[in-house]
Chains A and B, each alone.
Chain A
Amino acid sequence: MTLTALIGRRLLIGVFILLIVSVLVFAGTEILPGDVATAILGQSATPELVALIRERLGLDDPVYLRYLHWLGGLVTGNLGTSLVNGADLGGEVGVRLFNTFFLAILTASVAVPLSIVLGLLSALKPNGALDRTISTVTLALISLPDFLTAIILVTLFAVTWKFFPAIVNIRSDDGITDIMHALVLPVATLVFAVLAHMVRMTRTVVLNVLTSAPIEMALLKGIPRWRILIVHALPNALAPIVNVIALNLAYLIAGIVVIETLFNVLGLGRFTVESVQNRDIPAVQVCAMIFCAVYVLLNLLADVISIIANPRLRHPK
């Protein structure tokens, strides 16, 4: 099979998975025990009002029609309206998505280079003092809840030394430096959340490459170890490392939901939690779809990269 055909197949599978995701998201939020119309109206639910709301929301249509209508809206950019304030979800979600995206990009731009350097240092001398230190510290970091890292950072840098604000409060006239300053603590927490996994996986990947025949040859020729690492091992390990990064950025989603809530960042994660608390079903559906789509896309990217990098995967047994 040619490379393009193989990647095309992966993309098709990705679209198919997204369709399944949409069915499950829709079904998951539709099988409510209570009636949505009654839930919106609360105590002021008279039979006439309930009937009116049901008609306006199209709740009397058969399920598959409502699903198709909803999916059509999603694809054409019509995200529906919030049950809480009746506002169009498109505008709100757009702003929130931008903030979350900004946060994720900042995190990735710090975490990715840092984890590659630490992973390489670790692999330089396996079981050496540095490797064991990095291994123990990352193992401990993996075990920490995200909010503990956040609270400790806030206690140190916002409460004790007052370097950074504890709560992100960005006004529209703030300059880029103000925004960066406000985002230091959330980004630092998120970096800690993904760093440990990335460092450990980078180390494994680089060590795998280091035990291969060409590297042994280079060793026997007497090339210094750091040179082997940078010139010979890194290019070969680059593709699996990119794979590792894509997978870990997908893990970032759970962290983002917690960190946005804690630091009051008006991002999509916080919006999701608010919508769940308000039982704002259309909003939950849209948020879940966006997060799932990003997750599927990142996994897909990781797959495609490993197919390009590893010729053996192009000819599945």
Chain B
Amino acid sequence: MTMPETELRSPLRELLSELTPTVFICALILVGFILVVIFAPLIAPYGEGEILTNDSFALQGSEGKAQPGSTLLLGGDFLGRDILSRLVYGARVTLSVALAISLLAFLLGSTIGFLAATLRGTADAILSRIVDALISFPSIMIALIVVTSLGSTFTVLIITVALIDATRVFRVARALAMDIIVQDYIEAATVRGEGLGWIMWQEVLPNALGPLAAEFGIRFTYAILFISALSFLGLGVQPPHSDLGLMVKENIQALLYASAYDDLRYALICISPALCIATVTVSVNLIVDWYLKSTGASLPEEL
């Protein structure tokens, strides 16, 4: 039996046919950032910690006095390092830390969430109550307490923020799985004697994948915002590493220069890292919004 040709369109092609110009631009921006993250050492004109001039906040396009022949395309930071290079390395650190956080949070959150929904009963009750208790803390306070006691190394930051985020993923994954677990095909799988692992990964996961992908995008932007807020407070990524939030903190004095010399180019030195963060997070959120609207998928409410 052959199916009519028109019904064979793949879901991906259907999705792409609804591509709007805004979403296309957002996708291009993200691809650009991914390339920057991967090829940072090739793209950055100077090293992460290389000091090009002895002045604080050199203007855009000025020559680095400490290194003749060098130009600070986007200006210099408070130590005379090249802003452009710091941005490239900063984006690399911020985005890869945020990605690690979201991947870990999803691995933990969705596994435990699916488990709770599949097992139901006491196991579900216990897991849900634990998550309820964890969610009743403001997440920034958990992070501050952990950083006070354990310091802020990359490992501590990633694991802490991932655990905080996993509680949210748990709720979404559990709610999604709860709707799937009552379907007939799950019952069929149970009746033919499939194990817990099969049901979780072969039956529940594929059917929850769409909304979970959208949730991943949202979680990723939260991770970026959270980690850069921590770094901005001086409690996240530590110098001499570059991080977009840390760069804002380090160069906040540039605003005083802008005010004193009445020259907005100084302000740009401090704004540019924050703008990089915003470009990524806005792009991801617009893509997620479009994805949810065009697939008709929705995330569980009241989370």
Minimum CB–CB distance from B145 to chain A (whole Å) comes to 4
B144 touches A288 (CB 8 A): yes
Q: Which residues of B are found within 8 Å of A145, using beta-carbon distances?
A: 225, 228-229, 232, 245, 274, 277-278, 281
How far, in angstroms, from A17 to B135 measured CA to CA in the complex?
Answer: 11
Closest to B256 in A: A166
Given the interface pairs A31-B149, A143-B281, A158-B259, the reply to whether A151 lies near B264 with Cβ below 8 Å is no
B255 touches A32 (CB 8 A): no
Given the interface pairs A253-B140, A296-B136, the reply to whether A276 lies near B235 with Cβ below 8 Å is yes
Q: Which residues of B are found within 8 Å of A279, using beta-carbon distances?
A: 148
Given the interface pairs A143-B282, A151-B271, A254-B229, the reply to whether A166 lies near B255 with Cβ below 8 Å is yes
Whether a CB of chain A sits under 8 angstroms from the CB of B213 is: no
B232 touches A258 (CB 8 A): yes
Q: Which residues of A are found within 8 Å of B145, using beta-carbon distances?
A: 25, 28-29, 284, 288
Within 8 Å by CB of A273, from B233, B270, B277, lies B233
B285 touches A295 (CB 8 A): no
A299 touches B252 (CB 8 A): no
Whether a CB of chain B sits under 8 angstroms from the CB of A5 is: no
How far, in angstroms, from A24 to B141 measured CA to CA in the complex?
Answer: 11
Whether a CB of chain A sits under 8 angstroms from the CB of B234 is: yes
B267 touches A159 (CB 8 A): yes
Minimum CB–CB distance from A244 to chain B (whole Å) comes to 11
Within 8 Å by CB of B138, from A33, A154, A254, lies A254
Whether a CB of chain B sits under 8 angstroms from the CB of A262 is: yes
Q: Which residues of B are found within 8 Å of A292, using beta-carbon distances?
A: 136-138, 141
A155 touches B255 (CB 8 A): yes
B138 touches A142 (CB 8 A): no
Whether a CB of chain A sits under 8 angstroms from the CB of B147 is: yes
Whether a CB of chain A sits under 8 angstroms from the CB of B40 is: no
Whether a CB of chain A sits under 8 angstroms from the CB of B258 is: yes
A291 touches B138 (CB 8 A): yes
Whether a CB of chain A sits under 8 angstroms from the CB of B221 is: yes
Whether a CB of chain B sits under 8 angstroms from the CB of A257 is: yes
Interface size on A, residues (CB 8 A): 51
A147 touches B285 (CB 8 A): no
Kindly identify, within residues 252 to 303 of chain B, every residue whose CB is under 8 Å from any CB belonging to chain A: 252, 255-256, 258-259, 264, 267, 270-271, 274-275, 277-278, 281-282, 284-286, 289, 301
Minimum CB–CB distance from A19 to chain B (whole Å) comes to 11
B144 touches A139 (CB 8 A): no
A17 touches B133 (CB 8 A): yes
How far, in angstroms, from A151 to B271 measured CA to CA in the complex?
Answer: 7
Whether a CB of chain B sits under 8 angstroms from the CB of A309 is: no
How far, in angstroms, from A260 to B134 measured CA to CA in the complex?
Answer: 26
Q: Which residues of A are found within 8 Å of B285, using beta-carbon distances?
A: 139-140, 142-143
Q: Which residues of A are found within 8 Å of B232, using beta-carbon distances?
A: 145, 147, 258, 261-262
How far, in angstroms, from A148 to B270 measured CA to CA in the complex?
Answer: 9
How far, in angstroms, from A250 to B138 measured CA to CA in the complex?
Answer: 8
Given the interface pairs A20-B133, A151-B270, A262-B252, the reply to whether A277 lies near B144 with Cβ below 8 Å is no
Minimum CB–CB distance from A89 to chain B (whole Å) comes to 15
A1-38 near B? 1/0 per residue, CB < 8 Å: 00000000000000001001100110011111100000
Whether a CB of chain A sits under 8 angstroms from the CB of B139 is: yes
How far, in angstroms, from A162 to B229 measured CA to CA in the complex?
Answer: 27
A148 touches B271 (CB 8 A): yes
B231-247 near A? 1/0 per residue, CB < 8 Å: 01111000000000100
Whether a CB of chain A sits under 8 angstroms from the CB of B248 is: yes
Minimum CB–CB distance from A82 to chain B (whole Å) comes to 14
Within 8 Å by CB of B248, from A142, A144, A151, lies A151
How far, in angstroms, from A162 to B262 measured CA to CA in the complex?
Answer: 10
A276-304 near B? 1/0 per residue, CB < 8 Å: 11010100100010011001100100000
B233 touches A258 (CB 8 A): yes
B141 touches A144 (CB 8 A): no
A151 touches B136 (CB 8 A): no
A252-277 near B? 1/0 per residue, CB < 8 Å: 01100110011000000000110111
Within 8 Å by CB of B278, from A143, A154, A261, A275, lies A143
Q: Which residues of A are found within 8 Å of B278, using beta-carbon distances?
A: 143-145, 148
Q: Which residues of A are found within 8 Å of B248, using beta-carbon distances?
A: 147-148, 151
Whether a CB of chain B sits under 8 angstroms from the CB of A114 is: no
Q: Which residues of B are found within 8 Å of A29, using beta-carbon distances?
A: 145, 148-149
How far, in angstroms, from A277 to B144 measured CA to CA in the complex?
Answer: 10
Given the interface pairs A140-B282, A148-B278, A158-B259, the reply to whether A273 lies near B139 with Cβ below 8 Å is no
Whether a CB of chain A sits under 8 angstroms from the CB of B107 is: no
- Name A's B-contacting residues (CB within 8 A): 17, 20-21, 24-25, 28-33, 139-140, 142-148, 151-152, 154-155, 158-160, 162, 166, 204, 250, 253-254, 257-258, 261-262, 272-273, 275-277, 279, 281, 284, 288, 291-292, 295-296, 299
Known: A148-B274, A276-B147, A296-B136. 14 other contacts (CB 8 A): A30-B149, A32-B149, A139-B289, A148-B278, A154-B255, A159-B259, A159-B267, A162-B259, A254-B140, A261-B233, A262-B252, A272-B144, A277-B234, A279-B148
- Name B's A-contacting residues (CB within 8 A): 133, 136-142, 144-150, 221, 225, 228-229, 232-235, 245, 248, 252, 255-256, 258-259, 264, 267, 270-271, 274-275, 277-278, 281-282, 284-286, 289, 301
**7 smallest A-B Cβ distances: which pairs?**
A148-B274, A143-B281, A254-B140, A28-B145, A143-B282, A155-B267, A159-B259
